[in-house]
Each structure stands twice: as structure tokens, then as C-alpha cells.
């Protein structure tokens, strides 16, 4: 930890070290005290970020005992911070949390090579949607946690012997999820389309959708262990079933329209597209020519983007060439200096040493003043940007607040279909404002947090919240908000409620997406 002369309350520290050192896993727990010169709020935020990252890396299931203790220590530190308790106690809680999290990470690295089959089978089952099976999934998950707890207790042999049974149970859940949920959705969609007269209105599309369903069902039954191909076949069947429903409904709509209404409807669609492309109004031309005009405009935009990308690459190459020239010049200068006689070099070295000492003395005198000015300037800049970001959102859209050195945008208006992670077009406007808020801070680190209410199982809630957070992250990445490595996502399920889950109003508040912006120091930008 940074800082010297670190003081924490030693009796309490010794007591907790003794307590934690005697628990799960071999060896003593190493608790590193934190200097009282550190900011408690910043240390709490850093620990919370690290725990969120660890959760995403599955540390919470691969070392459940130690991870839970780390979260408990974080909770105590946050309570102490909110109550204004002495900073030494808050920093102790953070230190214990960091120690527990470190042990959890160590146990995770032990678990990965010890039970790889069970870990892989669990991932595939969750990806297929097995968390929707409630108690059935929860039972297998509990067996998996028994494996990881055994590893924490240094019983690797037991975990290795029993991982096959757990992997097999997850394997069956995965198949069930694919067939009952994915293909079940296909059958439901086809049935819905048939109720809406698909046999009459869209017979070819209906036949195609049924053929894809049959192919997927047969492939899953016959090629059980080709996991990726199984999922690909199922996804294709879902696509064609959804397409069938839309073709049927559009066919019904067109069937009830007069010929002129159909033509005007098609014309309206093309006109909206040309309007967005900022091209001339071509409604007086044949439909085929209008379509060609749209495709030509899109092709032009793509070529323009390619040209700009090439220009950027060219400029980058020029900069690299210039850097090489400067490097060569520096090497040449160093060689010339090396040719000076020894006396001249000693004089230069003496002058250089004297200059360094003078500079060091001046820097030592001004370092504290400079650091304080930088801190105050950073706080003022953060406050100004915070005020700007708050003005971006209407009260019903999002709540914006500061949490230490982080800014949190709590999206109140974002909505997802029940049980799904699809971002609906109605949310694009709100997410555009969030992009603008992120860019206000240059290139900060951003974490997208997903939260649910307590309805449903814990496993389902964690999985759904993670998928929704990942969907929002993918939206930001796809729209060029930040480089991919600057944005992360984590799902907390129902573990961090803001209100009581006993009322519909409270549950609505708890179902949310939080976007956490962490500005980077100027030198890191």
C-alpha cells in the first residue's frame, strides 16, 4: 500500500487476521494495512470495482466462502463511510475485504485446473438458459458450490472425484434448455403464425420454418456433443420462426389494403430511408430505381468511411516515420556527444548534476502546493462535468449522482422485454444521452451494472442481469463510445436492492441499469 508511517488499530487487526486465517483454505490470510493518509471513499470505491470485476470472472462461485467475506467487509466499510465513522476503522474493513478477495482469487486459480469439466458444463448450461429451470438448476448449482467449497477446504481429491457427476447434471440441463426453451419458442411461434392464417397467407415461409425446426431437432438429438453447432442450428430455427410471424402479419396487412395503399406504404418506407440518407426525393421514379438510389448512397457512405479510415492509417504511418526520424536524430546526437574529450564530458556531467540538484530542491519545495492545486482543480473539473451531465437527463429518465470519485447514472426509464436482454428502439434516445455523458469525461473507465428485483431464482436473476449489462455494453462499443477495453459489464442480480421487494413500486426501482463512470487521471488519458 502507498504511504509510510501507516497506523491502524492493531488489536482489531490481529483479531480479524486470527479469525480469517483459521477459516477455509490452507495458509494464513495476509492482511495488508492501509495508510491513514489514503482517502476512505476512494479505497471503498476501488474495492467495490475489484469485487465487481471478480464477480464477472466467476470468483463468487469458484471461491464462494472467501468472496462472501470480501463482500461483507465491503458492506461494513460502506456503512462506516455513510455514518461518518473514524477512517481507521473504514480502512481496516477495506483491508480485510482486499485480503479476503485476494484469497478468493487464489482459490479460483486452484479450482480452474481441478474441476475444468464442471466449470465448462456450467457455463454452457447457463448460456443455453438453464437458469430458467428454477429449483432444478438451483440443485445442480448447489452441488457445484459443494465442489468449490471442498477446494477451499483443501479437499481437491473429493472435488475431482465428484466433478463428473456435476458436469453430467449441467450437461442434461443444457440439452433440456435448448430443446424445451429454444425449440419450444420455435414451436410456439409457428403455432402462433398458424393461428394467424400462415397456411393461407405465407405457405412457403411456413414450410421453411418447419423444415428448420425439424433440422434443428434432428441435429440436437443426433449430434449431442457438437455444442456450438447445436446452438447455431437452434438460433437459426428461432430466426426463421420469428420471420414467419412477421411475414404472416405483413401479408395480412397487405391483403386488406387497396393496391394504391400498398404502393404508398412501400413508397413511404423508401422515402423515410432516403430522408435519413439525405439524398434527393425520388418518389417520382420507379420503385426499382428508388432502391438502387438507396443502395448507391449506402455504398458511397461505406466507401467514404473506408477513405477516412485509410487517411487515418496514413497519418499514423507518417507519425511513426517522424518518430523514427527523431529517434535517429537522438542516436546521432548521443554519438556526437560521445566523441567529446573526457574533460568536456566531465564538465557537462558536473553542470548536469548541479542542475538536477537545483531542480530537485525546487520541486521538493513546491510539490505539496502543486499536489494540492491539482487536487482542487480536479475536484472543480469533476463538479463542473457532473453539473453538465445532470442537465442531460430529465428527472424521469435517470438519476445522476456522485459516489466518491465516480459518477453514477441510474437509468430509470430503460426497459427490457420480460425475461430478455434485447434493447428496444425506445431506449436508443436515452442511451445516446449516456454516450454523451461518457464522452464528457474524455476516455474514462466505465462499468455497466445490471440489477433485478428478487422475483425468480438467484441464479436466474444474476444471469439475466449480466446479459442485460452486456447488451448495454455491446451497444456502447458498437456505437464507438469508447474502446472496448475501457467498458466492462457486471450483473448483480437482486443482491443490491434500493427499495423493498415487497411492493411493485419497490421491485420496479430495483430493476435497473447503472452506468458507473470513473474518470482517469490526466496522465492516464
Spatial CA neighbour of 1 closest among 107, 83, 102, 108: 102
Q: Which residues contact 100 (CB under 8 A, 6 or more apart)?
A: 20, 29, 66, 67, 69, 70, 73
Q: Where in the chain is the domain with CATH 3.30.1330.60?
A: 393-524
Residue appearing with cell numbers 446452438: 231
pLDDT at 381: 85
Q: Secondary structure of 388-417 in the HEC alphabet?
A: HHHHHCCCCCEEEEEECCEEEEEECCCCCC
DSSP string across 230-271: HHHHHHHHHHHHHHHHHHHHHHHHHHTS-HHHHHHHHHHHHH
C-alpha cell at 177: 434448455
Distance CA 175, CA 129 (A): 10
| CA–CA dist 450, 462 (Å, integer) | 9
**Cα separation, 413 vs 513, whole angstroms:** 9
For 33-71, letters b (16+ CB in 10 Å) and e give: bbeeebebbebbbbbbbbbbebbbebbbbbbbbbbebbb
- Ramachandran sector of residue 84 (left: φ over 0; alpha: ψ -120 to 50; beta: rest): left
Greatest extent of the chain over all pairs of C-alpha atoms, in Å: 101
* Distance separating alpha carbons of residues 487 and 476, to the nearest angstrom: 8
In angstroms, rounded to a whole number, what is the distance separating the alpha carbons of residues 157 and 163? 10
Q: Cα–Cα–Cα angle for 364, 369, 373, nearest 5°?
A: 140
Cα separation, 410 vs 487, whole angstroms: 16
Alpha-carbon distance of 199 to 89, in angstroms, equals 71
H/E stretch holding 346 reads helix 342-392
Strands 406-411 and 487-491: unpaired
Here the cell at position 92 is 481496516
Beta carbons within 10 angstroms of residue 119's beta carbon: 23
Superfamily of domain 393-524: OmpA-like domain (3.30.1330.60)
Could you tell me whether strands 487-491 and 445-451 are parallel, antiparallel, or unpaired per DSSP bridges?
parallel
Q: What is the DSSP letter of 321?
A: H
Q: State the 10-residue block means of pLDDT for the chain, 525 residues long.
A: 35 39 55 88 92 92 94 93 90 94 94 94 89 92 95 94 95 85 85 94 94 90 74 88 94 90 88 77 82 80 75 82 83 70 67 71 65 77 88 90 89 82 82 90 91 88 91 88 90 90 88 91 54
Q: How far apart are CA 475 and CA 453, in angstroms?
A: 23
| DSSP code, position 131 | G
Grid cell 568536456 in the structure block, residue = 344
Contact 219, 229 (CB under 8 A): yes
**Backbone phi, then psi, for 451, in 5-degree steps?**
-135, 150
Amino acid at each position: 500500500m502507498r504511504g509510510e508511517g501507516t497506523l491502524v488499530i492493531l488489536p482489531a487487526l490481529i483479531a480479524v487476521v486470527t479469525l480469517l486465517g483459521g477459516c477455509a483454505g490452507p495458509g494464513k490470510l495476509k492482511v495488508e494495512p492501509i495508510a491513514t493518509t489514503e482517502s476512505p471513499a476512494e479505497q471503498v470505491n476501488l474495492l467495490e470495482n475489484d469485487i465487481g470485476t471478480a464477480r464477472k470472472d466467476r470468483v463468487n462461485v469458484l471461491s464462494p466462502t472467501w468472496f462472501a467475506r470480501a463482500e461483507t467487509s465491503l458492506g461494513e466499510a460502506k456503512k462506516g463511510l455513510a455514518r461518518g465513522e473514524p477512517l481507521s476503522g473504514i480502512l481496516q474493513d477495506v483491508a480485510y475485504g482486499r485480503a479476503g478477495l485476494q484469497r478468493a482469487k487464489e482459490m479460483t486459480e486452484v479450482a480452474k485446473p481441478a474441476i475444468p469439466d464442471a466449470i465448462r458444463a456450467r457455463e454452457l448450461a447457463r448460456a443455453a438458459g438453464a437458469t430458467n429451470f428454477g429449483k432444478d438448476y438451483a440443485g445442480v448449482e448447489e452441488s457445484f458450490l459443494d465442489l468449490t467449497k471442498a477446494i477451499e477446504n483443501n479437499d481437491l481429491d473429493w472435488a475431482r472425484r465428484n466433478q463428473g457427476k456435476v458436469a453430467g447434471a449441467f450437461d442434461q440441463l443444457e440439452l433440456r434448455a435448448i430443446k424445451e426453451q429454444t425449440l419450444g419458442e420455435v414451436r410456439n411461434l409457428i403455432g402462433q403464425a398458424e393461428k394467424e392464417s400462415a397456411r393461407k397467407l405465407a405457405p412457403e415461409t411456413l414450410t421453411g420454418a418447419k423444415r428448420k425446426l425439424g433440422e434443428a431437432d434432428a441435429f440436437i438429438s443426433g449430434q449431442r456433443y457438437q455444442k456450438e453447432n447445436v446452438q447455431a442450428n437452434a438460433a437459426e430455427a428461432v430466426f426463421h420462426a420469428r420471420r414467419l410471424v412477421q411475414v404472416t402479419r405483413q401479408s395480412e396487412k397487405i391483403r386488406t389494403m387497396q393496391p394504391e395503399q400498398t404502393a404508398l406504404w412501400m413508397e413511404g418506407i423508401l422515402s423515410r430511408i432516403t430522408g435519413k440518407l439525405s439524398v434527393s426525393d425520388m418518389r417520382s421514379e420507379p420503385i426499382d430505381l428508388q432502391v438502387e438510389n438507396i443502395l448507391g448512397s449506402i455504398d458511397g457512405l461505406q466507401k467514404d468511411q473506408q477513405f477516412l479510415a485509410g487517411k487515418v492509417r496514413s497519418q499514423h504511418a507518417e507519425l511513426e516515420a517522424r518518430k523514427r526520424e527523431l529517434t535517429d536524430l537522438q542516436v546521432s546526437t548521443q554519438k556526437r556527444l560521445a566523441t567529446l574529450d573526457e574533460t568536456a564530458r566531465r564538465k557537462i556531467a558536473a553542470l548536469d548534476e548541479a542542475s538536477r540538484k537545483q531542480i530537485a530542491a525546487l520541486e521538493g519545495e513546491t510539490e505539496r502546493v502543486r499536489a494540492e492545486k491539482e487536487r482542487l482543480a480536479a475536484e472543480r473539473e469533476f463538479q463542473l462535468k457532473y453539473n453538465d451531465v445532470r442537465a442531460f437527463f430529465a428527472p424521469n429518465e435517470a438519476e445522476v449522482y456522485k459516489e466518491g470519485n465516480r459518477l453514477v447514472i441510474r437509468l430509470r426509464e430503460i426497459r427490457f422485454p420480460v425475461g430478455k436482454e434485447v434493447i428496444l428502439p425506445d431506449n436508443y434516445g436515452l442511451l445516446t444521452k449516456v454516450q454523451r455523458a461518457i464522452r464528457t469525461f474524455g476516455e474514462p473507465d466505465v462499468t455497466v451494472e445490471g440489477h433485478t428485483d428478487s422475483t425468480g431464482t438467484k441464479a436466474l436473476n444474476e444471469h439475466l442481469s449480466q446479459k442485460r449489462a452486456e447488451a448495454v455494453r455491446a451497444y456502447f462499443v458498437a456505437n464507438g463510445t469508447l474502446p472496448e477495453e475501457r467498458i466492462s459489464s457486471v450483473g448483480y442480480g437482486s443482491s443490491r436492492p434500493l427499495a423493498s421487494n415487497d411492493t411493485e413500486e419497490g421491485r420496479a426501482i430495483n430493476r435497473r441499469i447503472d452506468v458507473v463512470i470513473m474518470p482517469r487521471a490526466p496522465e492516464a488519458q
